[in-house]
Structure 1
């Protein structure tokens, strides 16, 4: 790095930071000098273009500067935010101080009637239940059927949301404080409570389905939903089969386990679209003969592409179970419609977008490392492997509600949690140890 170029950049940035009109020309003079310098690095030129964008008043010139930044550094968050502001995807008054912690959203203890909807049969006013086999809401009384696509607003589409814009606002960092809501039933007039973090439920007196639809604008709204693909009986069969096929289980587990009735729930998940590149390097062993091994540097570039990488937004069930069950097919998602929640408990997200995006980046990095190990370095003996994720870009996101069956089963006076993916039927759960497992745990000092 040229010391003279560094000094030019320092002076240009210092002048630009004052925000004073009289210093703009001085900033422009030094920053443009950096851009003309043949020995300026890509990082220095990227920084110069970024600060030039800060002192430009003309929107077109400002856009040109930001696009030059992204040409050098496609993952530059400041340049992406700047373009989002110019495009109108982000408003200046929505920007937050990233160093200032945000408080969780306090929900209304008693939502107003205008913020709660009761879903009934349009023909007779009876309660509607979702039948997975029919892909429809069916009236419990007259049998009137409303197909799931009739419940979705005409012309509704699933839209990927701008990640850069959301991350710069309070919405991208907030979550809801777990609090009970009290609703007044629009059917019988009784008051009933919804458990913390739930936005849908049935009146315990008349069975009417209610959904809280009020939106204060402080949380991100669901964009998509994946309807249940099978009913409670099928979920129980999946659990029974899972118990039967478990390895290292007690021999009488499948016969003696008392399975509770599965309860269906929509759980929130974030999905992310990622792109960009990640550089990697390693030392690879090369045989030079006579048992002489030389460690030779090797490096490469990994192209990142992940569509709808799924990250749980809930803490309702243990994380290890959620991770095992997050293999949903995003092609089955449909646009969000509150009607599809009418007979199903639905949870509000507890993990904000910003936190979930870090998990998505970690997963993308791990997948990249696994790919290089099984392809570029397959069969090689290597060490000191490192991968740089700074070029990884989260392009977009959406909040989706995904179906899960949850229950417990009892075995020898002990209760175990088990969950079923409401699309694929995959099961994950807690299980008792066999005698062999207990012996090994005792041998190795594990509880």
Structure 2
């Protein structure tokens, strides 16, 4: 047998007909209703449609085999949350409880670092150096300096390959020396040309080459040098509290850049011995390496990210020495004002020179 109740539209209590007033009355809130009004309300309730909350749950697409290979997930031992990273994540933090995690599996089957230079400078120092980096930059947009906020800041141990080698070198330079004089009729210029030969040996210790494709090579080389005297034998405990990536560029792949750096440094070192000339140009170089050795190390870097007009700006600070680098946006209005001022001043100087020449 079906049971039906008329519900009060105000408080949902069961309405009762009050014969004295000829109306339905709620015994809970004392609200009175005409019968026809309640009947219409009741019919609306009966005819109301049921909920339809079905969803099309065909969301996402299947991972490709390459994508699945590149993903790793780990369970936080503190809270049980899942940490998702990639094949190169060696140290990270749990997004749920904030506890730091070192992914030991990442060191299995791969090379263990020989050395690590521990962080000497903290996050507050990185923020301080960032603020200093913005000072005195006349062409920096004012809004960037006054309102810009750091999107992200994190300490990362970056993998580096360290190359040791001795180099024997033979170098020849073309140099010039210029002499000028005048007499009552002419101005004279005499240019003498020289061929200069240098030969010798030079040693290199711990030439670093960034072993991570995530880190721009120019940015990592800009925060150099590191003082290797602070390096210690690698222990995973040094990674706790920081992020770390293992290498995805191996030592063999890094040899080309190491050779470039060694050769450039050799040429520059021998060039510094050639003095007293107006110009010096390398003409021939032969650099031969021997006793080459390679080591694997983690070096500390603070990375800061910020956004300005939808453009990302990345800054880096050497976590050992505090050297800070990073590109900044330019206020184009200020730039063109400065350019116009320089042009005007240069023009005035040239005009003054011509005027003086006519007087003389």
2:168 aligned counterpart, secondary structure: strand
Once structures 1 and 2 are overlaid, which stretch shifts more, 299-308 or 369-378?
369-378
Residues 69-106 of structure 1: per-residue CA shift (max 9 Å, x gap): xxxxxxxxxxxxxxxxxxxxxxxxxxxxxxxxxxxxx9
How far 1:416 moved relative to its partner? 1.5
| Partner residue in 2 for 1:341 | 239
Tell me, what secondary structure is at the counterpart of 2:283? Answer: strand
Matching residue of 1:376: 274
Which secondary structure does the structure 2 equivalent of 1:199 belong to?
A: strand
- 1:232 CA drift (Å): 1.3
Query: Residue 371 of structure 1 aligns to a residue in which SS?
Result: helix
Counterparts of 2:270 and 2:82 in 1: how far apart (Å)? 58
Structure 2 CA distance for aligned equivalents of residues 376 and 271 of structure 1: 30
Match of 1:365 in 2: 263
Indicate whether 1:283 and 2:283 are aligned. Answer: no
SS of residue in 1 equivalent to 2:111: coil
SS at 1:417's partner residue? strand
SS of aligned partner of 2:249 = coil
Of 120, 141, 145 in structure 2, the residue corresponding to residue 254 of structure 1 is 145
Kindly indicate whether structure 1 or structure 2 has the higher relative contact order, using CA contacts under 8 Å at least 6 residues apart. Answer: 2
* Residue from 195, 205, 209 that aligns with 2:96: 205
User: Structure 2: where are the runs of 5+ without partners?
Assistant: 1-64, 181-187, 341-360
| 187-196 vs 280-289, which moves further | 280-289
Distance 2:110 2:249 in 1: 11
Deviations 1:189-245 (A, max 9, x none): 443212442112233334443322237875332111111112212211110111114
| Distance of 2:178 and 2:156 partners within structure 1 | 57
Q: Which residue of 2 aligns with 1:351?
A: 249
Residues 289-438 of structure 1: matches in 2 within 5 Å? 295-379=193-277, 381-383=279-281, 385-389=283-287, 391-393=288-290, 395-412=292-309, 414-435=311-332
Contact 2:91 2:244 in 1 (8 A): yes
Question: Which residue number in structure 2 is paired with residue 234 of structure 1?
Answer: 125
Change (3 A) 1:363 1:195: same
CA contact (8 A) 1:312 1:326 kept: no
Alpha-carbon spacing, 1:377–1:363, altered in 2? closer, same or farther (3 Å): farther
Is the strand fraction higher in 1 or 2? Answer: 2
Give the total of aligned pairs.
Answer: 269
Match of 1:184 in 2: 75
CA distance in 2, matches of 1:405, 1:360: 24
Looking at structure 1, the residues matched to 177 and 301 of structure 2 have their Cα atoms a distance apart, in angstroms, of 50
> In the alignment, what sits opposite 1:7?
none
Offset at residue 313 of structure 1 (A): 1.4
Higher helix proportion: 1
Higher CA-based Rg: 2
Normalising by structure 1, we get a TM-score of: 0.53
Could you tell me how far 1:428 is from its partner in structure 2? 1.2
Alignment partners' CA distance in 2, 1:288 and 1:208: 70
Q: Which residue of 2 aligns with 1:162?
A: none
SS in 2 for 1:262: strand
Whether the 8 Å CA contact 2:177–2:277 is kept in 1: the answer is: no
Partners of 1:380 and 1:303 in 2: CA distance: 26
Question: For structure 1, which runs of at least 5 residues remain unmatched after alignment?
Answer: 1-105, 110-176
Question: Given that residues 258 and 411 in structure 1 are in contact (C-alpha distance below 8 angstroms), is that contact kept between their aligned partners in structure 2?
Answer: no
Report whether the alignment pairs 1:271 with 2:162.
yes
